[in-house]
Amino acid sequence: MQAFFAGVSYGERPIQSSESEALHKQKEELKSRVREIDRAVAGLVPLARSGVERPPVKASINVERFAPVKARKIRFTIQKTNLYEPCIDELEVFDSNGNNIALSSLNVTRSASGSKEEPNRHQLDLINDGKFGNTHSWMCNEKTGWVMLEFPIEHTIERVVWARDRDGKFKDRLALEYVIEVADDSGKWQAVADSKDRRSLIDIVNGVVEPGPGRTGNNVFENAFDGDVGTMTFTTNGGTVTAPQRSLLALEEGAIHSLSHIRINDIEGNDNNGRMEQITVRVTTDSGKDLTARAYSDVTNLAVKMFSGDANPLPNVVINGNTIEHLDTEHDGFYSIVFDPVPGATGIELEWANERQHKHWTIREIEACTSAPEVQKNQVGVIAQDPKQQSKSKSLMQEKSNIEAQLREFSKSRSVFGGIFGKPDPVHILNRGDAEQPEEEVTPTVLSALGDLSLAKDAPESERRVALAKWIADEKNPLTARVAVNRIWQGHFGIGIVETANDFGKIGAAPSHPRLLDWLAAEFIRSGWSVKHLHRLIVLSDTYRQSEQIVTHASAKDAEVRLLWRFPSRRLEAEGIRDAMLAVSGRLNLKTGGPGFDLFFSRGGLSGFPPILKFQGDGLRRMIYAHKIRMEPDSVFGAFDCPDAGQSVSRRRQSTTPIQALNLFNSQFTIDESEAMAKRVREDAGEQVPAQVARTYWLAYGRDPHPNEMADAESVVHRQGLETLCRAIFNSNEFLFIP
């Protein structure tokens, strides 16, 4: 049976709709354009091993450009990664005409020092399949290793492009230290590019924002890590005064290189005017864990360099000692603050002075890095130095930024946690149930005692599920229709014809009306498995339309009403009670789909599971959207037989306990909804008590109050208020029970 579902896994995926195909096509076209832009910009990057410092490696894309060279083979050797075994999603090699000659479709062969393969991803065959992303990548089986491509004939090449994940979702397993070599027909290897002329990043492992006098806000970083090595994103705090505030960064322990650069990207304010007035830079070599207690020293020979994306000179910058004054944040590009190397740096202090009150700034990316070991300090280069090239680069990068913004919007489309379908994995009989002892491979099939369904080993995933579904829904199958109609019957009457809805076997309960079960199953099949037809059949029956009135002699023979001599009255489920209270109070949030809401302030830890007592916004949605926590019931409605999140329950039991009455009468939720309902009634009916009572009964019961009910209710409202009447109605049998 497992083989039928071998290609099915579960995870979050976009909801398929009528617009999905067109949207997917548009996304692929935009991604293709991004790759075209990357290739165009690649021609503007500095040559490798040319004495010009190159940017640090990125998980999304890296370009290695070099003088044209003849190559029959190319080898990428990885000497260090940021985390775990190295992974490359695609290795592209371009000739002098701009063609990618590394594609497997061009009969390029590949080999590697070793591969760590996983089903449907991380395979050596995927290193040059022309597809991008983590699911189309190669992973080495050790922390260092190499991958090699061999072309059918010798080519003249001048560029290699590689990435960890071109889709930008994964940033671990990134090669930090590497060398790229080529060999011509003679077999002689020569290095054409390596990481020695790239700036190195130092991991920023922690951060604190000190708001400063008169300022308010968090004292920790928001959105602290963006997942890339050595980068951090944070927001400074607004306030009523322009007092400066400090941002403290802790670097990785035992950093090998000396800190010499701080690169700042995308300084963005919360309004449209003003600028960052002053930045002061200090560095520490103190290894104490408390950032705020460290002693920070001024840097020396401070300088500012403008990198890529803007042909204009850097305006409005004044350097005074270790302080940069008047940094123009409207400028396009990023700023590199350069200073004399600080050996063994362990922390950075940046003091920000804002120009205006209430101003806060989001620093989208900050990098701590060292100079490339083989490049002199005065050779730190700009990606595009020629003004025309700079203008072209800026235009292309702006187009890429706009496209990426569109793609981010597409990624916000509604998603669902559901089935993800791929190529089926082989399924084996396991010796003694041990996954490490597989024996012969099995085919998708059912037990011979149950039928003759069997498929080939190579049957595609969709064909397997279709075949199984047809076998399950075959009218000759004696079980499927009976189980289905029993579930539907249980939904209407609170208990199925077979009480044990999950068990129709020998240890399950016998049907109370076996012939009725058979007839309903046959009718269900005859109607084409129409659930609507079965619902109509049941609700129009005399059995369903009975009164719930008790008949003494019948009750003596059948106290549990299994023979349905009256309609079996039952209490609403926990979710129904909460939703009904919100509905009549007018506060029910009918928003559908999307993330759920929390019933607890936190999920475990030292504070346990403190319940939320007062709900607003999404917390007023239907209870089906509440996050369920195993072994931790809701503080109010968990008492109403709401099952644990880790259990499968075929039918909820109905208990009556003192805690139910206490919760429903005294809980903060009941008090809040009583007050909300009273407010709604006053808005609808005015201040006249009889009108208020009548409106309350209509909202809760859908009927007018009887004369004696009206008299009692008016007395309660006069003596204790309308809120008390609403609270009593929430606890009444007519509100809580069906019918």
Please check whether residue 244 is in contact with residue 381, taking contact to mean a CB–CB distance below 8 angstroms: no
Q: Per residue, what are the HEC states of 128-162?
A: HCCCCCHHHCEECCCCCEEEEEEEEEEEEEEEEEE
Of the listed ranges 240-249, 390-399, 414-423, the one predicted with least confidence: 240-249
Q: In this model, does residue 612 exceed pLDDT 60?
A: yes
pLDDT class of 389 with cuts at 50, 70, 90: low
**CA 68 to CA 177: how far, in whole Å?**
23
- Higher-confidence residue of 8 and 521: namely 521
Give the pLDDT of residue 138. 95
Give the pLDDT of residue 207. 74
- CA 566 to chain CA centroid, Å, is 50
Quick one: which of 304, 286, 306, 282 has its CA closest to 294?
Answer: 286
Whether this model's pTM surpasses 0.75: no
CA distances from 599 to 49, 634, 667, 675 (A): 58, 7, 14, 21
Burial group, residue 207, by CB count within 10 angstroms (0-12, 13-18, 19+): buried
Q: What are phi and psi of 679, to 5 degrees?
A: -65, -40
Give the pLDDT of residue 595. 85
> Tens of pLDDT along 175-189?
989 999 999 999 999
Domains present along the chain, CATH in parentheses: 45-196 (no CATH), 201-383 (2.60.120.260), 480-557 (no CATH), 573-739 (no CATH)
Of the listed ranges 39-43, 143-147, 333-337, 383-387, the one predicted with least confidence: 383-387
> Tens of pLDDT along 699-718?
999 999 999 999 999 999 99
Give the pLDDT of residue 326. 66
Quick one: which of 360, 328, 420 has its CA closest to 236?
Answer: 360
Quick one: which of 717, 735, 733 has its CA closest to 725?
Answer: 717
> What SS3 state is found at 500?
coil
Q: Tally Cβ neighbours within 10 Å of residue 219.
A: 10
Mean pLDDT score across all residues of the chain: 83
**CA 688 to CA 690: how far, in whole Å?**
6
Give the pLDDT of residue 394. 67
**CA 507 to CA 397: how far, in whole Å?**
69
Give the pLDDT of residue 709. 96
Q: What percent of the chain has pLDDT over 70?
A: 83
Q: In this model, does residue 192 exceed pLDDT 80?
A: yes
As a whole number, mean pLDDT of residues 336-365 equals 72
Please check whether residue 569 is in contact with residue 555, taking contact to mean a CB–CB distance below 8 angstroms: no
Please check whether residue 254 is in contact with residue 232, taking contact to mean a CB–CB distance below 8 angstroms: no
Give the pLDDT of residue 381. 39
Q: Per residue, what are the HEC states of 583-645?
A: HHHCCCECCCCCCCECCECCCCCCCCCCECCCCCHHHHECHHHECCECCECCCCHHHCCCCCC
CA distances from 570 to 557, 581, 642 (A): 20, 17, 15
As a whole number, mean pLDDT of residues 243-270 equals 68
